[in-house]
Chain A
Amino acid sequence: MATETLVDRRSRRAPGTVEVPRGAGVRPGRFTPYLFLAPFLLVFGVFVLAPAVYGLWISLHNWDFFLPTRPWVGLTNYLNLFDSDNLLAEQFWESMLATGKFVLFSVPLLVVLPLGLAMLLNRNFRGRTAFRAIYFAPYVLGVSVIGLLWQFLLSSNVGLVNYYLSKVGLDEAIPWLTALPWVWISLVGVTVWWTMGFNSVVYLAGLQGIDTALYDAAKVDGASRWREFVHVTLPGLRPVLLFVVTMTILASANMFGQSYLLTAGNPSNETRTAIMFIAQVGLEQFRIGSAAAMSYLLALLLIVISAANFVFFRSKEGD
């Protein structure tokens, strides 16, 4: 960048005016930094920090919206979730299983397929931008449009998908939205279709950041495509890969709209995800204490997974 060629014009100034130590920052007026920070900290304090603590507090109470008293119950809401005779626990773990399945099925596809797509798009050809935009387009539509649209396309009797399958000889109408294992195939498939473009674009940026000299060197060494991919592309993409994997796990664990709109949790709560169940318990049945406890448990689990993921990628860096 041109700015880097500017001469260092740093100079000492009298105390009390402005001091400019490089990198560490300029010493400002006493309140200036806080004034800059104030708007953010206000929103952050009220809607992030306060609720983080408040939620914990709620989870230690029998906090029913419509009960006159909200008695302290200590860890009961948490312990109940580990009591095998407890109905709520049974349903909660059923929903955790649903979320787990969705993460397990969707994340590998959402990590691998977009990478393939990004490598296709990373070539030099006419119409690249247009194709890129086309693959990204479903993402801007939002989950409700996606839900309405695929509800229709996947309908077992009047849906296009079954119609075209019958044209290629599959006469049995597949119950995409109503029966196992099809519900999972549908939810994962629709999610991949919907969000794949996003991950592809992130990968594409990563691919374009890889030094082309490395590829040239690999070519000189006579490396095969595959070795080139393993030894140049993947290492070059490591930070982007970490980002994509972490974000995709979080997004998949947050899955709500697809189930809510496409399967409504059917068949028999098989696809009712953890977020869906927590929202039902907390905001439909108003058992906010229990719901808060469940969200903390799930969050803890996700933080552990994210951390493990982070450590895994860091350890690979040393290889």
Chain B
Amino acid sequence: MHELYLVESVLNIVQDYAVKQEFKKVNSIVLSFGRLSCIDPKSLQFAFEVQAKETPAENAALQFKILPAVIHCFSCGRDLELDIYEGTCPRCKGEEVMLVGGTEELQIIEMDVD
């Protein structure tokens, strides 16, 4: 349910830019976050549709750039992208791994506006 708060912050930032750059309508917003950051795109989309009403971002399309979960495995020496993080290397089953990507926080990358 943190998506509600995240969307509120997104809309505050959009509003700031709308005033500063004098645009009236947002067509699309590109957001990025790590796959393991516990952010659910569907909840984000739903929260956005509800909260963007009567703001410049109403009906804007959200695009998500989901950054992959990546581990470095010290046993086989590889960097690997994962869907699910289980604390082991999916290739060699090594247990000496380090998470190097996937927990990036939510960012607004760019907007298309009129």
Q: Do A and B come from one complex?
A: no
Q: Report which B residues bind A (CB closer than 8 A).
A: none
